[in-house]
Amino acid sequence: MTNRKSTKRALLGSVVAMVLCLAMLVGATFAWFTDTASTGVNKIQAGNLDVKLMYSTDMQTWKEATDQTKLFDDNALWEPGYTQVVYLKIVNAGNLALKYEAGFSKNYTSNRGKNVNGDWYRVDNYLKIGTAETATKFANREDVWSAIAATEKTLAKDVMLTDGWITLKAGEESEPFAVAIYMPTSVGNEANASRHRPSSVSGLGIEVRATQATVESDSFDNNYDANAATVLNRVEYTDGEHTVTGNIQANGTAGAIHGTGTAKITVDATTVYGTYVSNYAMAVCASSRSEIIIKGGEFANQAPAGSALSLIYAEDNAKITIEGGTFKCVNPAWTLNCNDNDAATITVKGGSFYQFDPSNVTVGEGEIFIADGYHVVQNGDWYTVVKN
């Protein structure tokens, strides 16, 4: 009889534990699995997918690139005809399918110099970069130029090396491809450095960004990760007018989307997640005199539960206007916030907020406003701003 009671209590405890686990999962916000492999002076930022960038100089011996790997020579003396080439392949070393894109480093540095004619110039404006699939090492530089002719572009920060996203199943690797940088023989004295003010370029590297691919299936279909993040770096503007769309997941230190200077940004995204780094996890941040209009998207931050971290944040003289979207902060009280003692404001005329009533804020009082002609309607844990 005692054993039966113990068994019943154990079973009851197991059921209760399962119910509690399910209750914790319902309504939770999840980040997408991502991974990034970079070379040169960039860091490797590992996520939950495992993508590796392999490189070779002879198409025989392959090594894994790290943040210390110099694929290109920083001390090169660029002149017409000078060519550097490296052979690469992407490896899915994890157990989940992924899709990847490869781009040239946006962190390289280029200094302005004067040519022999006394005119200002930058050497990277006269360099070409291109890619080509190949099974063997190129015999000479002319073969390289011919192979990359269809893809070559002027060297620029974050220039794309792949044409869209490429899917690799678990354990698969891409076909080898060459990445080449060269100075065309058509370049003349416009890039011929003066003796005392040469232009140089350093920190040349490559970044591979990977995210979830719609391959594996659950109990319903294989589309549960259809909206996986495809923008893995902060979207940031300092001036001009811009529209931001897509699926964004990036470092939340200054916001996954950041406006500063005099930038005017319209956000009409699918997902925008600010990931936790150094006690910040902002999805959107407006600084200086920037203006950001949020028209739609799912906004959330990924951070320890209960952290006092802002989701949507304005500072200085910046203005944020919210017209739509859903907003879920790890600590609801900090869903919308402005820096104290600044002139920044957030005006709300739409959107749904999880456990946060924008008409009755406890953080940012006097900084968050419901626009005239609008009011808040509550439905359970969600507060939606609608027209009167």
321-371 per-position pLDDT tens digit: 999 999 999 999 999 999 988 999 999 999 999 999 999 987 766 789 999
pLDDT at 26 over 60: no
**pLDDT score for 347:** 96
pLDDT reported for residue 119: 92
Q: Say how many C-beta atoms besides its own lie within 10 A of residue 75's C-beta.
A: 7
Q: Which pTM was predicted?
A: 0.67
Categorize the per-residue pLDDT at 19 as very low, low, confident or very high, splitting at 50, 70 and 90: very low
Mean pLDDT score of the chain: 84
Average pLDDT over residues 377-388: 96
Q: Report whether pLDDT(379) > 50.
A: yes
Predicted local confidence at residue 2, as pLDDT: 36
Query: In this predicted model, what pLDDT tens digit does every residue of 34-50 receive, in sequence order?
Result: 666 666 644 444 345 78
Mean pLDDT highest for which of 6-15, 306-315, 359-368? 306-315
